[in-house]
Amino acid sequence: MAEIQNPNQQGGGQDSKTLLTFTIVFFVLFLGLQFFLKQKKTEPPAQTAVHQQQQPEEHASQPAAPAAAHANVPAGPVTQAAAESTIVVENELYRITFTNRGAQVTSWILKKYRDDDGKPLDLVNHAAAAKFGYPLSLYTYDTYDADLRSQLQQAMFVPSATGTITAPGSLSFEYSSGSLTVHKTFRFDATYVIHADISVTQNGAPVAAMLAWPSGFGDQDSLPHYATASLNTAQNGKAEQTKAKKVSGGATLQGPFDWAGVSDLYFAAIFLPDMPKDTELVSLHNTIGVPQNRKNPDPKHADQASVLGAAMGTAQPYSVRLFVGPKSLDVLGSVPTSGASLEKTVSFGMWGVISKPLFLILRFLHEHVVANWGWAILILTIVLNMAMLPTRFQAMRQSLKMQRIQPQIEAIKAKYAKYKSTDPRRQEMNKEIFDLQRRENVNMFGGCLPMLLPWPLLYAFYSMLGNVIELRQAHWLWLPDLSAPDPLHILPIFFIVSMFLVQWLTPSPGVDPSQQRMMALTMPAVFGFMTWNVASGLALYWAGSNILGIVQQMLMNRTKLGKEMHALALKRAAKRSGKPALARR
């Protein structure tokens, strides 16, 4: 990063102005990005369509209510449990607790993950589920019966087993009230994927009762966490993510689907239909009050957050797989699909073409070099800075060439100083300067390349660290979570000091001394402010780059090229101040 913050300045103070311009533009973009993300997090959900497929009226594809001809169908046998009971299904990855009331899930523990309080992570959002429905409940259209959905969620099913089931295994639920008959069978293996077979009839007619994940995720404990939710769909090999404000509650999307479901930043619940052409997806969108202070909740101080869910099924008996687990590239890539990979549920943002390769390199370092994400980030920082070292030397060469011809450029400017800026003869001045630069093989943009190259890397790091679950709660020395800001602000302070040292060590011929002093103070302050609340993994990368920049600059200052740069800087400073130049050791 040193080459961005402290480029070798070119003649006439132009590079300092360029650097200052880059700094201001980046600072504005950075603050704008933060403001935009904040607006996205707090903007109330708009009831708009999810895709162009959703443009028709809601429930346009909903089947009609059962025909009146079925009203006199003789009632069948009654199959109901006498009391509520729970059944636990577990493997090495999860522990799922079912209740026979509604044949739905009341707890979905992921054994390899912890919540922010250090407890086993439960993917069931209990506050939202109590209002909008629990996982693996059944969603029905109101056109059937306004009370049918509630009846299905409260029905006392008869389970095929009790106690604890160790996967691989299966669990079935049966219910019949005479006119309403429901069969739900779930099969489990050693992965995060379960398989479901669903059949619902009323008065002998099939009912479109869709398997649902209706109420977000258990790791959503604050407004920013809710704001990361999205509806994820894949059709014909093309994946798409739709943010909450564009998701219309109760809207029906027609298949075929490779897969579809919902996710937040780190976890997902994705349906994979066995018969893609025959299934439909219903998007669910509700709102819930989220306390501003999670540890001391106060109903008077709460924000409204979007709760996203999805339901998939059809009117006929159907089968569907359901992935419920972490958005880890390895895990997602291992799930068989009929089209696009589930890896598409991980968003690397607009810099994904850089972010994803960076993460793959980082993961390789973590798996094969050092088993700590913080040290892996520092090793990757060294690799990237060494790769950009040739551009630093090239920038110094171009800057030195520019300084050598600076007296001739000033003479040309003096020659045309008597003409106004609107005088056509001013164009002749520009042509003379351009011809001089071409003769001396000077590229006026050669010093800008090192300033531009690290910006995409910086944004890519920013995007990567905020979207990969592998860095969630990853610790390094005093840092408990590399995806969260440094709680002690040690890295930002260290960054400010190290950046000041880089500024002091970097020769800047052509820059006014007072302007140089101002930049040496303001730039560390500005960039230090930017690192104050960013992910500590990003701050670690940035601070590590500064340390390498200091070492590189000290070594470069000892070269013939560096000594000449310093001599020119002292000579120009002395000329401006009217004092003799003193040799710098």
Burial grade of 63 (CB within 10 A; 0-12, 13-18, 19 or more): middle
Dist. CA 132–CA 284, nearest whole Å: 9
Three-state SS for 109?
strand
pLDDT value of residue 29 = 54
What are the residue ranges in the chain where pLDDT is below 50?
1-16, 18-19, 33, 35-72, 581-585
**Residue 414 half-sphere exposure toward CB, CA atoms < 13 A:** 6
The set of residues, in sequence order, having a beta carbon less than 8 Å from that of 13 and lying 6+ positions away, is 510, 511, 512, 515
Burial grade of 381 (CB within 10 A; 0-12, 13-18, 19 or more): buried
Dist. CA 518–CA 363, nearest whole Å: 40
- Whole-number Cα distances in Å, 193 to 143, 236, 323: 32, 22, 4
Q: Taken in order 148, 151, 153, 156, is the CA torsion positive or negative?
A: negative
The backbone torsions φ and ψ at residue 146, rounded to the nearest 5 degrees and listed phi first, read -60, -25
In this structure, the number of other CB atoms found within 10 A of the CB of residue 368 comes to 9
Burial grade of 224 (CB within 10 A; 0-12, 13-18, 19 or more): middle
pLDDT value of residue 313 = 93
Q: Give yes or no for a contact between 80 and 103, defined as CB atoms under 8 angstroms apart.
A: no
pLDDT value of residue 26 = 54
Dist. CA 420–CA 268, nearest whole Å: 65
Dist. CA 134–CA 153, nearest whole Å: 9
Strand partners, 320: 196, 273
Dist. CA 149–CA 133, nearest whole Å: 10
Q: Domains of the chain by range and CATH?
A: 2-18+355-405+440-577 (no CATH), 61-345 (2.70.98.90)
Dist. CA 136–CA 109, nearest whole Å: 15
Angle between helices 560-577 and 373-404 (to 10 degrees): 60
Dist. CA 196–CA 340, nearest whole Å: 21
Question: Would you give the DSSP letter of residue 285?
Answer: E
pLDDT value of residue 407 = 78
- Cα 243–327–367 angle (5° rounding)? 140
Nearest C-alpha neighbor of 312 from the set 276, 285, 347, 288: 276
Three-state SS for 446?
coil
Dist. CA 311–CA 231, nearest whole Å: 11
**C-alpha distance across the termini of the chain, in Å:** 26
pLDDT value of residue 113 = 94
Query: How many residues does the structure list for the chain?
Result: 585
The answer to whether the bond into 256 is cis (omega within 30° of 0) is: yes
SS (H, E, C) 469-528: HHHCCCCECCECCCCCCCCCCHHHHHHHHHHHHHHHHCCCCCCCHHHHHHHHHHHHHHHH
Question: Would you give the DSSP letter of residue 119?
Answer: S
pLDDT value of residue 11 = 41
Strand partners, 99: 86, 104
Q: Strands of 120-122's sheet, edge to edge? A: 120-122, 104-114, 94-99, 86-90, 163-166
